[in-house]
Amino acid sequence: MSEEKKDWEVRKDALFLEKKNGYDLLDEAALAEMESYCEGYKAFLDAAKTEREAVDEAIAQARAQGFVPYERGMALKAGDKVYRSNRGKSLMLAVIGQAPLSEGVQIGAAHIDSPRLDLKPYPLYEDGDFALLKTHYYGGIRKYQWLSIPLELHGVVIRKDGTTVQVRIGGEPGDPVLAIPDLLPHLAGQQSQKPLGTAVDPENLNLFVGSRPFPGSEGGDRVKLAVLDLLNRKYGITEEDFLSAELSAVPAYTACDVGLDRSMIGGYGQDDRVCAYAALKGLFDAEKRNKTAVCILADKEEIGSDGVSGMQSQAFDTFIADLCEGQGVSLRECLEHSFCLSADVTACYDPNFASVYDKRNSSLINRGVGLCKYTGSRGKAGASDASAEVMGYIRGVLDQAGVLWHVAELGKVDVGGGGTVAVYMANRNIDTVDAGVSVLGMHAPFEVTGKLDCYMSYRSMKAVFEQ
């Protein structure tokens, strides 16, 4: 028989907050469900390497769940499932609840764009008997990380007649890949003396795409001609069509298990598709709904959430306003009673770089979903800074649902910082708090997350949608 606890031990258990490793708390059934969820997530990562592909994959999954395209003015009742694609680059989905929209909606917001290399409008040229594609990087990348790795080319080309050509090179078995070779160390003496952030000139992030000249051709640009001929034969495009194209180089990695114990997931684009998938799956699986549940998968977060497909766009307001109009409710009344879980990743404490973290307030792996009261930088600039009331609310929701969670900051004060879509939801007079998965190597071509944290992010979204 165990000895009875002393008074101070009882009081310590009651008063102290301990960050427990989630693997000490989950039973075998929950672990099996976690593994199943993560297999679906890895498949989503492989299918959705751009925001357009993420929208296409999300719509395919939504339609399989009974969602239908929303048409303005259509009559809706409790339980109806609708979605609206915003130009194929962001997506809004809703499940109509029992409560009127005057009581607000439960929102899960994530973004589906990730750092990458976009082709310039005039990308293709020849130099040194190589054909190359010029790029302009998108989002916050560390440029050296994109050298000497296999890359795929994904995107769309829109012809002058309005027809769309889908391009995806490098992702199928037997496909060639592209690359940006690094400078050999034998010649890198001067480069090695430069600061890490400036050692790679962004104008030199040019993709090697060919070296074989067009057979029997003469004069210049023989390799360029051969590459264009290949593209024309496969896709029916010409050099002019690059002017109305959105083509991006993305890492040619498939999502995989990491660690001898397979406890982690590695892959490209986990910021923020790890939260996007959690929000989507949480919306599908929520069992009881009082309020209307809304999921938004936004574009352009990595560059400020601007533009027609970003979170600052009026597209979200228009969608909610259309739903409200069907019930005779004003948009402002709906938004002021709504709640948003802004689902975006946070930085996982990395013992290899411990000096940039406040470990006491950092996100630790396997602690569940990380709640971020504020993001921003230099005195919380650019953050929505959730109120104490909002933090109390989400604590109660997650505890009631048995979700493992902890509170985390991105790093030490004034060392860095970051932003999410939370501020733009809060600017709409919506109570908002950030929550997401902690990531190692955020914004790198290969990011790492904990399976348990991915699973708990899904459980947290499901809990919010069940309110």
What DSSP element (H or E) covers 15? helix 7-15
pLDDT at 2: 58
Q: How far is CA 259 from CA 43, 64, 95, 256, 265, in A?
A: 19, 33, 38, 10, 9
pLDDT at 192: 94
φ, ψ of residue 299 in degrees (nearest 5): -105, 170
Closest CA to 133 of 119, 146, 144, 154: 119
pLDDT at 346: 92
Q: In what order do the strands lie in the sheet with 346-347?
A: 256-258, 264-267, 447-450, 438-440, 346-347
pLDDT at 288: 83
* Model pTM score: 0.95
pLDDT at 4: 84
Q: What is the DSSP letter of 401?
A: T
pLDDT digits (tens, 9 = 90+) for 174-209: 999 999 999 999 999 999 999 999 999 999 999 999
- Torsion sign, CA atoms 325, 326, 332, 335: negative
> Apex CA 345: angle with CA 344 and CA 347, to 5°?
150
Closest CA to 108 of 298, 257, 247: 298
The parts of the chain modelled with pLDDT lower than 70 are 1-2
Count of other CB atoms within 10 angstroms of residue 443: 18
Closest CA to 451 of 279, 282, 278: 278
